[in-house]
Structure 1
Amino acid sequence: MRKIARYIIGALALFAMGCASGSKVSATPAEIEALDNLVANQSFEINARWALPMPSQALNSISNANLLPIGSNASRIDLTGNASYLRMVGDRVEADLPYFGERQMSGGYDPQRTGIQFEGMAENLKIEPNTKTKGYTMRFDINNGLESYQVIAQLMPSRSSSFSIVSSHRTQIRYQGILSEYSEEED
Structure 2
Amino acid sequence: MKSILKYGAFLLLLVVAACATGRNNATPEEIAELENLISNQRFEIRATWAQPMASQGLNSIANAGLLPPGSTASRIDITGATAYLRVVGDSVMADLPYFGERRMGGYYNQDKAGIKFEGIPENLTFEPLKKGDGKTMSFTIDQDSEGFQVYAQLYPNGNARITISSTHRTNIWYQGNFREYEEEK
TM-score category (smaller protein): 0.7 to 0.9
Report the AA paired with residue 174 of structure 2.
Answer: Y
Greater than 6 Å deviation, 4+ residue runs: 16-20
Query: Within 1, Cα distance between the matches of 2:116 and 2:129?
Result: 27
Query: Within 1, Cα distance between the matches of 2:160 and 2:17?
Result: 24
Aligned to 1:86: 85
Query: Within 1, Cα distance between the matches of 2:91 and 2:18?
Result: 38
Normalising by structure 1, what TM-score?
A: 0.87
| 1:53-99 CA-partner distances (Å, limit 9, x unpaired) | 00011000000000000100000000011110000011200000000
Aligned to 2:180: 181
Displacement of 1:20 in angstroms is: 6.5
- Aligned residues: CA RMSD: 2.1
Alignment gaps of 5+ in structure 2:
1-11
| 1:152-179 CA-partner distances (Å, limit 9, x unpaired) | 0000000000010000000000000010
Query: Within 1, Cα distance between the matches of 2:171 and 2:51?
Result: 9
Report the AA paired with residue 23 of structure 2.
Answer: K
Query: Within 1, Cα distance between the matches of 2:173 and 2:143?
Result: 19
Query: Within 1, Cα distance between the matches of 2:18 and 2:125?
Result: 30
- How many aligned residue pairs are there? 175
Query: Within 2, Cα distance between the matches of 1:104 and 1:23?
Result: 39
Displacement of 1:30 in angstroms is: 1.0
Displacement of 1:133 in angstroms is: 2.5
Query: Within 1, Cα distance between the matches of 2:27 and 2:148?
Result: 34
Displacement of 1:23 in angstroms is: 6.2
Report the AA paired with residue 136 of structure 2.
Answer: T
> Do 1:165 and 1:174's aligned partners in 2 also have CA atoms closer than 8 Å?
yes
Report the AA paired with residue 65 of structure 1.
Answer: A
> Do 1:107 and 1:146's aligned partners in 2 also have CA atoms closer than 8 Å?
no
DSSP 3-state at the match of 1:186: coil
DSSP 3-state at the match of 2:112: coil
> Do 1:25 and 1:132's aligned partners in 2 also have CA atoms closer than 8 Å?
no
Query: Identical aligned pairs, as a percentage?
Result: 54
Q: Does 1:26 align with 2:6?
A: no
Displacement of 1:182 in angstroms is: 0.4
DSSP 3-state at the match of 1:112: helix
Aligned to 1:57: 56
DSSP 3-state at the match of 1:105: coil
Query: Within 1, Cα distance between the matches of 2:140 and 2:19?
Result: 33
| 1:108-129 CA-partner distances (Å, limit 9, x unpaired) | 2111210000000010111112
CA change 1:80–1:54 in 2 (3 A) is same
Aligned to 2:44: 45
Displacement of 1:44 in angstroms is: 0.3
